[in-house]
Amino acid sequence: MSTCICSCGESAPHEVARRTTFDGQTVCLWSDGTLTAIMGLYVAGIGRKRLPMERLWEIANEAALMTMDEVVEQFQIHHAIERRLQRRARRHEACKEIVA
């Protein structure tokens, strides 16, 4: 995932939103695509993995309806989908090179 500048103009990773889960835990969304617990602590099952902001916002918008375990599960599902899409894109590029 490439380094990007947040819509606020800041290029360094920073917290962009906080949500409280159904079981009362806080999750923080960061501009670099990470999701952490309060104070930037990594969440078990997520660690340092990143997602595109669109996918991260999908999780954040539903966080109040999910427990932390469900948030982690959703993150893992979205991360697996992203990995598959990236692999498919690489194969597609490789096929285009063979044909060309």
**Structural domain boundaries, residue 71:** 15-99
Instruction: With respect to residue 50, please indicate whether it lies within any of the assigned structural domains.
Output: yes
**Chain segment 51-92, per-residue pLDDT in tens:** 999 999 999 999 999 999 999 999 999 999 999 999 998 888
pTM, two decimals, is 0.81
Give the whole-angstrom CA distance, residue 85 versus residue 67. 27
pLDDT at 2: 46
Instruction: With respect to residue 25, please indicate whether it lies within any of the assigned structural domains.
Output: yes
Structural domains of the chain, count: 1
Contact in structure between 82 and 90 (CB atoms under 8 Å): no
In sequence order, what are the beta bridge partners of 42?
36
Give the whole-angstrom CA distance, residue 58 versus residue 79. 12
**Chain segment 26-48, per-residue pLDDT in tens:** 999 999 999 999 988 999 999 99
Instruction: With respect to residue 9, please indicate whether it lies within any of the assigned structural domains.
Output: no
